[in-house]
Chain A
Amino acid sequence: MNADVLIIGGGIQGCSTAYHLARSGASVIVLEKDYIARHASGVNAGGVRLLGRDLAEMPLSKASMEMWQLLDDILEEDTGFRQKSVINIAVDEVDIATLKARDKKMQALGHSHERMIDQAELREILPHVHASCVGGAVSDMDGYALPYQATNAFRRAARRFGARFIEGQALNHLRQIGPVWIARTQDKTYEASTVVNCAGAWADQVAMQIGDNVPLSHAAPMLMITARLPHFTGPVVGAVSRQLSFKQFENGTVLIGGGAKGFADRANNTTRLDYAKLARAAKTAIEFFPIMRSASINRMWAGLEAYMPDNLPVISPAANADNAFHAFGFSAHGFQMGPIVGKVMADLVLTGKSDFDLSAFRIDRYDRKTL
C-alpha cells in the first residue's frame, strides 16, 4: 500500500497531522499498532489548558487554544470540548508568591490569559472549596475535552479527506531506500515518500529506525473516575504546590488526576496501578473539597505516556534522514496541543517550514549535552 505520507501512531498528534495533510490534498496512511486513541491520547485527563504552561510552548499552545474554541465546527465532529476555565488553587502565602512570580513574568512577555484571584473570588467560583484555600490563578479560556472522542473526531474528519487508518498493525521494520520509506508490519508492507513519527511512548523505537537517537522515557500517570456526583464544580481544578487535579464532567462524574504515576510495562503494552499513591491522591482531593469524601471511585487506570528530560516535546524534522519528521514526547501535556501540532507537521511535510519557532523542540537538542 502506498501513500505520500506514512504516519506512525494513531494518537491525537498522528490523527491531527493526518487531518491537516489530507485536507491539503496529500495521500496519508496512519499505522496504529492497537486502535486509534488506545493509549495516552484516549485515556488522558482531557485537560485543555494554557494555565501554568512552559513559556517555550506558549505560542503553540495559544494557537492551539484558539483552534479548540472552534474545533467542533472545523471538524464537523463532537470533541467534547467545554470552555470551563482552569483554576490553580493556592493554600498559603508561599503559593501566592509562586503565582505572583509567574504573573510578573507572563505580563512582561505580554501574556494576559492568566489572572490571579483572591480568596473571595475563589470561593465564589468554587463554593465547595475548603476554607483554608487563600486564592489562586485562573485561565478563563481553558477547559477540557473528551480525549477518545476528540482524537477520533480528527480521525473521522481526516478520513473524509481520504486518509486511511490501519489499526492493529504494529510497525516491525522501517527503512529508507532512496526516496522511499518502506514500513513492514507482520503481514503487510507500506511505502511512502515521507514518514511522520507520532508514536508516543514508543516513539524512540521509531526514531531509532529513522536514524535519530532520543532520550525518551515512559511512565504511567494514573487517573480515577467517580460515579456521578451532584454537580459541585464547573472549572477544572488544580493546586499550586500539591498533587491535585480534577474536573467534573457535565454527566456528573469526577475525574481525579494529579500526576501520580503507576508502573509502566511498555513491552507488554500495559500498566499497573500504585494504590498507595492513589490513596494519597484521594486524601488530597478530600482535603481540598470535603464534599468529595463520599464520592465513589468507579474506575482507575493509567496510560502509557512519553516523557522528555526537559518535559518539552519533540516537534522537528529528523536530524539524520530526509523526508522524516517527529512529533512526540509531550510529557503528559500534549493533548491540548494536538490541533496545532497537526498543522505544524503538515506545514513541515508540505513546505519544509513552519510559522512557529520550533528551536526548543528540535530532536537533536540533547546531542551535545551529558544527561
Chain B
Amino acid sequence: MFSSLRSTPAKTVTVTVNSQSVAAPEGQTVWATMALAGQLTTRKAALSGEDRSAFCAMGVCFECLVQIDGTPNQQACLRRVRDGMHIQTQDITETSKAPIQGIPE
C-alpha cells in the first residue's frame, strides 16, 4: 500500500478519481493522488485490455496515461492536481467506439 509521509499541511484541493471524491494537497501529482486513494489502474492496455499502472513515475514510460477533464493521454506522473479536476482511468482499446452525440457543431 502507498502512504504519504508529507508533513507540511499544504492547502488541499478536491478532485474526483473515477467518481470517487478525493482531497489532495495542492500541487501533488495526479499519480500520487490516485495511488494514495487506492486507485492504481491508470489505463487499460490497448490490445488486451489488462490493467496498467504507473511504472517509471518520471515521464518516460507512458504507462500512466489517464483521462483528465475529458482529455485522454495525460501523463498522471507529470500532471498536478487542480481543484475540481476529474481524473479517470483511460479505457481506449482497439474495440472502443465513440458515442454519437447529435450533429457536431
Contact = CB atoms under 8 A, between A and B. Distances in A.
**A–B direct contact (CB < 8 Å):** yes
Interface of A: 123, 127-131, 227-232, 250-252, 289-291, 294, 296
A250 B46 CA distance: 12
B104 A228 contact: no
A127 B95 CA distance: 18
Given A294-B70, A294-B72, A296-B73, A250 B104 contact: no
A228 B98 contact: no
B32 to A, nearest CB: 23
A131 B73 contact: no
A232 B96 CA distance: 9
Contacts of B93: 228, 252
A231 B98 contact: yes
A250 B93 CA distance: 11
A123 B46 CA distance: 29
Contacts of B92: 227-230, 252
Size bracket, chain B contacts:
10 to 19
Given A123-B103, A131-B104, A290-B104, A296 B72 contact: yes
Contact of B98 (A251, A291, A296): A291
Given A131-B105, A294-B71, A228 B46 contact: yes
Interface of B: 46, 70-73, 92-100, 103-105
Contacts of B105: 130-131, 290
A128 B73 contact: no
The 8 A-B residue pairs whose C-beta atoms are closest, nearest first, are: A230-B96, A232-B98, A230-B98, A296-B73, A290-B104, A127-B100, A131-B103, A294-B71
A107 B52 CA distance: 55
A243 to B, nearest CB: 20
A251 B97 CA distance: 11
A22 B77 CA distance: 55
Which of B97, B99, B103 is the most central at the interface, judged by chain A CB atoms within 10 Å of its CB?
B103
Nearest to A252: B94
Contacts of A250: 94
B100 A228 contact: no
A282 to B, nearest CB: 15
Contacts of A228: 46, 92-94, 96
A230 B92 CA distance: 6
Contact of A128 (B46, B95, B98): B98
Given A129-B104, A290-B104, A294-B71, A230 B94 contact: no
A250 B95 CA distance: 8
A134 to B, nearest CB: 13
A321 B73 CA distance: 57
B104 A252 contact: no
A196 B99 CA distance: 51
Contacts of A252: 46, 92-94, 96
B44 to A, nearest CB: 11
A231 B96 CA distance: 6
Nearest to B97: A231
Given A129-B104, A130-B104, A130-B105, 10 more contacts: A123-B103, A127-B100, A131-B104, A229-B92, A229-B98, A230-B97, A231-B97, A231-B98, A232-B98, A291-B104
